[in-house]
Structure 1
Amino acid sequence: MFCNGQPADAAALGAALVNYGHFTSLQVRGHAVQGLDLHLQRLAHATQALFGSVLDEGQVQRWMAQALHLAGVADASLRVTVFSRAFDFRAPLATVAADVLVAVSAPVRLSAARAVCSVRYQRDLPAIKHVGTFGLFQQRREAMAAGFDDALFLTAEGLVSEGSTWNIALHDGQQLVWPQAPALRGTAEALLRQHWEQPQVVRAVDSVELDAIQAAFACNASGIWPLATIDGRALAGSEALAGQGRAVMAGVPWQPLRA
């Protein structure tokens, strides 16, 4: 772990324990990232929203590349967390400089099919990938305790929004459907929507429509995986649909991390 380009010490990590900040998670292969610009834009936008300050995207990219170099790896999972040692919850409107924590871990690629259950839940500030993850992890835990693999979130009005740590794409037999509801719009979703050449649409999806869905997959920066069932209803076409998604992502260029 590295904070502002230096090995993270106890002082930096102690400040990062404050439950106020945001992050992005990404996969690196051969010192390159799919959707690197989207990850950096996400960090810059959220830094302005939470701290009122401007994030130097170029510096963040250099710190990411440096962390890989110091860890001696070209393939990895990176989590880039933005917090502020100057943030004071008693004066939250103050504009404060951001600190950047880069954590390097082993690369992953998610692909196994999952069974999910729908629950009515919405994260705070759903458009921001913030560090307040207690609620969504608890929803996943409760889903697993009930015999499922994960939770699919619905709004209070019953609209499909997102999974615990992933976005969802549905197929209604004619086109790919991206649910329109308050949610974190992921980098994988953005890349798939940009490069998907078959019919697709973004629209509100009521939970009652799930009974007619023929296939679905989940996606985030760690991969694409089929949803075998939703609320116990089997989706026979999900494996094939996820395969289409992976084929699309295979053609998305990797952007090099520049030191």
Structure 2
Amino acid sequence: MQGTSKLPKGVLLALGLLITILLYLGLPSLPQPLIWTWNSDNVTILAGLTHSNSSIFYREVQPLHKPHRLEVVLLHGKAFTSHIWQQLGTLEKLSRRGYRAIALDLPGFGNSFPSPAARTEAGRADLLDQVLQDLKVKKPVLVSPSLSGHYALPFLMRAHGRLNGFVPIAPTFTENYTQKQFSDIKTPTLILYGALDKGLAQESLQKLRHLPNHSTVKLQDAGHACYLHQPHDFHDALLTFLDKLS
């Protein structure tokens, strides 16, 4: 009987390499840590994944000058990602004022993976809590527009003593809590909303106004994403609030 012929080693190696490449191309890509440097403004944005199962992607700006004690964590709405705070210059403005600024991609947005924890109220509070611990954020000011209320409000209700301040911008999920629950929270709060937002801003205001230590700023000629429509007025209101806290 004639023996089976063997393939040359070079061919086997080539086949092995081809299979490896095909397997690699077939795997889902993971978000990679990135570094952006704005040389013209001497601002460096660090972005990467936290070292936990939280699967949160973040953009961080370290203060350019001697830092204040305040840290500012920015969430985002349904139509946006953490990039909006870079695009508007919010991260840079906070940094120049001496604040540590961190913008998060919520699970399933931007470079963050979806997370099973995001399906429940408790899970979302746990997720945000874990991310803050991963980033060694002690007592931040939490900025929460629109959809991010699903994360910020459960965390506020559970751990408001761990916040230096709260900035809700027409957040969702306010209807899930009572007037009494809001009135028990002493966290300094800046309620921001657009004058043209007749929907969610007005609905959320009905509950948020029961926060005992709050001030309200209505941005004229601005809709639901008021920070996008009137960025100058938004930044003025936010920085004024932060400066008083610090």
Tell whether the structures are fold-level matches, with TM greater than 0.5.
Answer: no
CA radius of gyration, larger in: 2
TM-score (norm 2): 0.27
Structure (1 or 2) with the greater helix fraction: 2
Which has the larger share of strand? Answer: 1
Bigger relative contact order, structure 1 or 2, given CA contacts below 8 A and separation 6+? 1
